[in-house]
Structure 1
């Protein structure tokens, strides 16, 4: 390895070339499958059911399913070589730094996937619209902006980035069946947070009205007051400064922390 054993542009370029040479079949088939499913299912619905998609918002579920399912499956295979002793030795002994290997796979599974996916989504939409025009002579109204109107939709992407970081971390821990094991780990982690919230809410408000059933974890609790002929709810919300802290953490902290942990986990990897 060259004297700079952390990062070298030329060395990373050579590693990137080797990685694509070794995995181009997998990437190519994966891209075709995602594109084919996105396009084929919608076109079949048009041709078989003869029901047109009237608005772009009706196609958005296909977009989000492909984004999350395809992206997380793709990310979970980032360090698949470590599942085999022979491939793992080749991966770890290759004359490139662990940072170069990590950043290469990070860029491919994050920016690379998002770039391809959005190009595919655009082409898929054009094909679906063309098929609908040909078969039913009806256009699709463009009534949906992915990143705006309302602006809260951008939080879908924050959620995706956090999950992508979690699955990248999972790929460094689980070298076989990484996707399934990471899904299970995320579920267990989420259940643990919910259980902790239930305990805290019960300790604060008591057991009487089962407040844990009417709470959003670590955000709000609703108290129902029932009268002779009516009832109303009182909502207890966390302070605004804590809401802003949560928001900042979701936007800028969780994903980078998971990426850093994933890098150090890969750096300590042994076969």
Structure 2
């Protein structure tokens, strides 16, 4: 086990990575905070009132996914070229330790930093714009679904971006996007053809959706119970993310100078 993971060695790798990239991470954090402030401030100025809670949720989710995608895609960008990969691959640590360092920075650390920055700026903008008007702040206080949905979505997107950053040598963001859209297109076509074979009278549906079957005026809806459906929506992105994380790690172990 010591060959693959050692806490002391992992701590050194984490400290070295943090020291080498601290300046760029601080600059990126400043840019992120500035971007959030500009978006929230501009929308508040245009509407002349505090932003509604639903709009705050949309902006939080979109910002998390967009900023997280760019940051995660850059984590293993150096491995795209042999010259850039040499320092990382020659580092005296296991592939698992190098991978976990990148995973920690791009998932839990990024999510915590982004959430804290967004919440602080959002609260400040709401207070400045309220001028005595009542407002409602987005703070995850309305149930677990408010934080679970963006977190699971980001975990899945993170795994996809991590795979793309490791598998593709150049233009990994563009190539990853084509790979995702191509996979979705194949999945939709295969799903429809399979339904035609199994249920000839069914209506076109999205994968994992409810199915209407029947002919003429007689139709029936095939669906999962609500609790099982919610459980499936939670487990599916987690399972896909874990598989893609494993695929990214496997690809990293194959990297050579």
Per the normalisation by structure 2, the TM-score is 0.86
Per the normalisation by structure 1, the TM-score is 0.82
In the TM superposition, residue 183 of structure 1 has moved relative to its aligned partner by 1.8
Equivalent runs, 1:133-172 vs 2, <5 Å? 133=130, 136-142=131-137, 144=138, 146=140, 148-149=142-143, 151=145, 154-172=148-166
CA contact (8 A) 1:219 1:238 kept: no
Partner of 2:249: 263
Partner of 1:199: 193
Q: 1:188 to 1:33 in 2, by over 3 A?
A: same
Partner of 1:220: 210
CA contact (8 A) 1:16 1:104 kept: yes
Unmatched 5+ stretches in structure 1: none
Q: 1:41 to 1:151 in 2, by over 3 A?
A: closer
Partner of 2:239: 253
CA contact (8 A) 1:169 1:259 kept: yes
CA contact (8 A) 2:152 2:234 kept: no
CA contact (8 A) 2:72 2:162 kept: yes
Q: Distance in 2 between matches of 1:249 and 1:119?
A: 26
Partner of 1:71: 68
Unmatched 5+ stretches in structure 2: none
CA contact (8 A) 2:51 2:126 kept: no
Partner of 2:102: 105
Equivalent runs, 1:57-96 vs 2, <5 Å? 57-96=54-93
Aligned residues: 257
Q: What is the CA deviation profile of residues 56-115 of structure 1, one whole-angstrom value per residue up to 9, with x for unaligned ones?
A: 222222111111111111111111111232221111111111111001001000011011
In the TM superposition, residue 192 of structure 1 has moved relative to its aligned partner by 1.1
In the TM superposition, residue 125 of structure 1 has moved relative to its aligned partner by 1.2
